């Protein structure tokens, strides 16, 4: 693995497992913001071949956005390297042939990833809604937040751990990360808006106590069925 701290990119082998890659980048004070569905045991190559959705697409984009450049061992012993420039500046994005192509056009061997400094602040938000329409209206109000809102999803009934269930109520989980001032500003703006729209908000004490359940809900219990957060 090679890290260019000035350009904030890392060149890695596609054979690395996603959790291993995250760990290695964290050791150097970086990470790439990609958290695939069912991340345990998945290699970066598998995620690229299947174009697996990113849980944190709201903040970091899709896998195609995070991958800036691919080195591919093509068919008939022909190798390819995509250009590391903006798609908008060059027309069609050649790397899109390979991401999600399931290896039909060649094997991806090396990947250049956009990386970020480790976030200064992480904050959870939890809101209950008796009226699902009001919950959806709130979601539409905050969907424009860019920069720190990494994850947003609605849960009902048995989707939630028992400790988080409330009768006949929809639960919305939010997760923010990034620069401390920006995260806190966005979090408290969202909190104020939710309260004004009739949301029942978890207190900071409750969030602290329930954090293990929220983290489990985010990273361990997400399935591909009914994905509502994929762009």
Helix 180-196 × helix 132-142 angle, to 10°: 150
Predicted local confidence at residue 69, as pLDDT:
85
Structure confidence at residue 91 (pLDDT):
61
* Domains observed in the chain: 2-117 (3.30.465.10), 121-219 (3.30.70.3450)
Is the CB of residue 172 less than 8 Å from the CB of residue 135? yes
Residues 6 or more apart whose CB falls under 8 angstroms from that of 5 comprise 30
CA torsion, ordered 139, 141, 143, 146, to nearest 10 deg: -140
What is the pLDDT, as a whole number, of residue 107?
86
How many CB atoms are closer than 10 A to CB 148? 25
| Separation of alpha carbons 112 and 14, rounded Å | 10
Structure confidence at residue 115 (pLDDT): 92
DSSP string, 127-163: EEES-HHHHHHHHHHHTT--SSEEEEEEE-GGGS-GG
Distance between CA atoms of residues 77 and 128, nearest Å = 56
User: What 3-state class would DSSP assign to 37?
Assistant: coil
Instruction: Determine contact, residues 140/185, Cβ cutoff 8 Å.
Output: no
Could you read off the pLDDT tens digit of each residue along the chain, which spans 231 residues?
Answer: 888 888 899 999 988 888 888 889 999 999 898 888 765 678 888 898 888 888 888 888 888 889 888 888 877 777 777 766 555 555 666 777 788 878 777 888 899 999 998 888 888 888 888 878 888 888 888 877 666 888 887 777 666 667 677 777 888 888 888 888 888 888 888 888 888 888 888 877 777 777 777 777 666 544 433 333 332
* Degrees, nearest 5: CA angle 14-33-204: 150
């Amino acid at each position: 693995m090679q890290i260019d701290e000035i350009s904030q990119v890392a060149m890695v082998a596609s054979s690395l497992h996603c959790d291993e890659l995250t760990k290695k980048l964290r050791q150097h004070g970086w990470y790439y913001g990609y958290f695939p569905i069912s991340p345990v045991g998945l290699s970066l190559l598998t995620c690229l071949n299947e174009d697996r959705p990113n849980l944190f697409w709201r903040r970091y984009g899709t896998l195609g956005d995070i991958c800036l450049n691919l080195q591919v061992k093509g068919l008939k012993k022909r190798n390819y390297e995509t250009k590391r420039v903006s798609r908008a500046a060059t027309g069609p994005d050649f790397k899109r042939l390979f991401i999600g192509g399931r290896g039909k056009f060649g094997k991806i061997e090396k990947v250049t990833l956009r990386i970020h400094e480790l976030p200064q602040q992480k904050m959870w938000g939890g809101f209950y809604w008796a009226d699902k329409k009001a919950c959806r209206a709130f979601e539409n109000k905050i969907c424009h937040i860019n920069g720190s809102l990494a994850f947003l999803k609605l849960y009902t009934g048995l989707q939630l751990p028992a400790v988080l269930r409330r009768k006949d109520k929809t639960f919305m989980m939010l997760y923010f990360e990034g620069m401390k001032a920006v995260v806190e500003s966005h979090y408290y703006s969202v909190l104020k808006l939710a309260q004004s729209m009739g949301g029942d908000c978890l207190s900071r004490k409750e969030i602290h106590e329930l954090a293990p359940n929220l983290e489990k809900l985010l990273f361990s219990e997400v399935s591909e069925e009914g994905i509502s957060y994929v762009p």
